[in-house]
Amino acid sequence: MAQTLNPLSYEVIYGLACERKGGPAAVESLLPKNASKAKLRKLGSDRYLAEFTRKVFQSGFVWRVVNQKWDNFEDVFWGFDVERLLMMPDDMLERKAKDPSIIRNFTKVKTVRENATMIAETERCNGMSFGQFVANWPEDDVIGLWLYLKKQGSRLGGNTGPYALRALGVDSFLLTQDVEGFLRNRGVIDGGTTSKKSLQATQEFFNELRAQSGRSLSQLSRIVSFSYGQNHVGIAR
């Protein structure tokens, strides 16, 4: 009797990804690379704040426009110097929110100082740099880091925090449309993606794939997305 393969196994998922993307070489060429733990530890708090801010502004907006204005954001917010931003008075924050060189959205501009506060408080409470805090977070509980950013930060819930972490090189899966579709289709989750039950089930699923394959969560997330939905040859997501 022929052996039935587990539809949630790495072997099956990787095989589907290869079929859709044109073979192993094509898949491998599209996989992301993470930053080393050493690099994450050395990365300044200003760079974490900058990426959080970029993703907050990109959320619900055209990413290209945010990127085009990004040098202006760096100038207006003093290179995202956390200590300097913490001393910024309310009236100055309001003036910066009206600066035409950036995107004038006061609700989002406020998050710069709020997330600077989150970073500073994290460093104070843990006795380490924010980079060390992120690098030391256990990889088998990346959803815990997501929830920390959501609770302690400003507008870092949903996909905003996770996308920022991925952009910084932190090893993290992403709940893209294709990944979510796969998880629902295979019965891994059946409720909202942000519920604790769904997040825990997703974390356990990716932890199991990592145990089977030895790959990073970031790569596994991309492979899962390639195996489902609209990811066929020539479509990179």
pLDDT in tens, 186-217: 999 998 998 999 999 999 999 999 999 999 99
Q: Where are the domains of the chain?
A: 37-168, 173-237
The residue among 53, 51, 74, 48 whose CA lies nearest residue 131 is 48
- Going by pLDDT thresholds of 50, 70 and 90, the confidence category of residue 232 is low
Q: What are the DSSP E strand ranges found in 65-198?
A: none
pLDDT of residue 60: 93
The DSSP letter of residue 9 is S
Q: Which of 37, 48, 59, 51 is nearest to 171 (CA)?
A: 37
CATH number belonging to domain 37-168:
1.10.340.30
Q: Rounded to whole angstroms, how far apart are CA atoms 203 and 162?
A: 13
> How far is it, in rounded angstroms, from Cα 204 to Cα 13?
16
| Residue 47 pLDDT greater than 70, yes or no | yes
More confident residue, 70 or 236: 70
Question: Which has the closest alpha carbon to 22: 226, 198, 179?
Answer: 226
This prediction's pTM: 0.93
DSSP one-letter code for 173: -
Looking at residues 75-103, what average pLDDT do you find?
97
Q: Please name the helix (run of DSSP H) or strand (run of DSSP E) that holds residue 149, with its range, or none.
A: helix 142-152
Percentage of the chain modeled with pLDDT above 70: 95
pLDDT bucket at 229, cuts 50 / 70 / 90 = confident
Q: How far apart are the first and last CA of the chain?
A: 38
